[in-house]
Amino acid sequence: MEFRRMGHSGTAVSHLCLGTMTFGAESTEEQSFRMMDDYVAAGGNFIDTADVYTAGASEEIIGRWLKARPTEARGLVLATKGRFPMGGGPNDLGLSRHHLTRALDASLSRLGVEIVDLYQVHAWDALTPLEETLRFLDDAIRQGKIAYWGVSNYLGWQITKAVHVAKAHLFAPPVTLQPQYNLLARDIEHEVVPACLDAGIGLLPWSPLGGGWLTGKYKRDQSPTGATRLGEDPNRGVEAYGPRATREQTWTILDTLQQIGGPQGRSQAEVALAWLAQKPAVTSVILGARTPEQLAQNLKAADLRLSPDDMARLDDASRPSVGDYPYGQKGVDQRHRRIEGGR
């Protein structure tokens, strides 16, 4: 396992992170315990959760595991999130001081810890003044309840605004962003990744395998069935399978993964995870698994390093459509043109 600084902080985390959204829902407590055991045994030290994962059950399972494994717990970097509803009241959601005070305390209680290493705001809140949220996070650091803070699902301008508001008020700045990012979803490269690189913010990509697509389990002209997320939920399957199945680029990406991984004896999932781990600004890739067997397969990517040629092949196969302006060639020409009077 490779270790990297968590954004611009001094804390080192493994480049593969264990995501726990399945704990208490798709994964039993016994399976969840085994996945945490296996992850730590593989050299990982970074576990990510959130209060809304199975209505707090994920944090509770992790808390019981931490209590039962004091030696393993000592070296872990623990991350959780707050923002979404945990009750039916008008203040039981959002990024206000009122809600986050209670959300953070509740998370600490469920996890059975006095401090969480990384506390992330789960999404933008247009109703709460940004200064209020950032002051709460800075106060939580000063109170010893969190070590660092980050954001999730923010746009480029939102990241940059948070960075500069924090700087203007001398608040601790954000160190990470948790976005969706994979070979099938690269649109964050237009604005979000540059904003993170500019601010020294580390990416913690979620859904690195595109909901299972990049494992190769789905086939052209064959609707998903059986023990897959799309196969087990027909309504979700129709909604999520159709748009990607009808894109020729989807199958080009899958073919390229197989062409690169096959000769090396590597699965498509391993290659997809390795590609993402090598992208600019990425600190740690979040692995989400329903079973210990799925996690074991994904952890095989820990020692895979793709060549520049293989990275370029995957970049070309998955390149997002950008149109002509502002991200296409006309936009590039406009940005790099020396303007001598007029436009």
Q: Which band of pLDDT confidence, cut at 50, 70 and 90, is reported for residue 260?
A: very high
Contacts of 175 (CB under 8 A, 6+ apart): 6, 7, 8, 9, 118, 148, 149, 150, 201, 202
Instruction: Taking residues 104-129, report their average pLDDT.
Output: 97
What pLDDT was estimated at residue 322?
85
Q: Which band of pLDDT confidence, cut at 50, 70 and 90, is reported for residue 320?
A: very high
The percentage of the chain sitting over the pLDDT mark of 70, rounded to a whole number, equals: 91
Instruction: Give the range among 11-15, 50-54, 115-119, 223-227 with minimum mean pLDDT.
Output: 223-227
What pLDDT was estimated at residue 329?
81
What pLDDT was estimated at residue 342?
47
Instruction: Taking residues 176-203, report their average pLDDT.
Output: 97
Instruction: Give the range among 78-87, 312-321, 324-333 with minimum mean pLDDT.
Output: 324-333
- Decide if 181 is catalytic: no
Summarised one tens digit per residue, pLDDT across range 156-184 is 999 999 999 999 999 999 999 999 999 99
What pLDDT was estimated at residue 242?
65
Instruction: Taking residues 99-112, report their average pLDDT.
Output: 98
Instruction: Taking residues 110-126, report their average pLDDT.
Output: 97
What pLDDT was estimated at residue 337?
65
pLDDT at 138 over 70: yes
Q: Phi and psi of 2, rounded to 5°?
A: -90, 145
Instruction: Give the range among 136-140, 201-205, 328-332 with minimum mean pLDDT.
Output: 328-332
pLDDT at 25 over 50: yes
pLDDT at 307 over 90: yes
If one looks up domain 3-216+272-335 in CATH, what number appears?
Answer: 3.20.20.100
pLDDT at 234 over 50: no
pLDDT at 232 over 80: no
What pLDDT was estimated at residue 8?
97
What pLDDT was estimated at residue 219?
83
Instruction: Give the range among 32-41, 99-108, 323-332 with minimum mean pLDDT.
Output: 323-332
For residues 222 and 151, which has the higher predicted lDDT (pLDDT)?
151
Summarised one tens digit per residue, pLDDT across range 274-305 is 999 999 999 999 999 999 999 999 999 999 99
The catalytic position among 53, 119, 148, 154 is 53
pLDDT at 333 over 90: no
What pLDDT was estimated at residue 238?
47
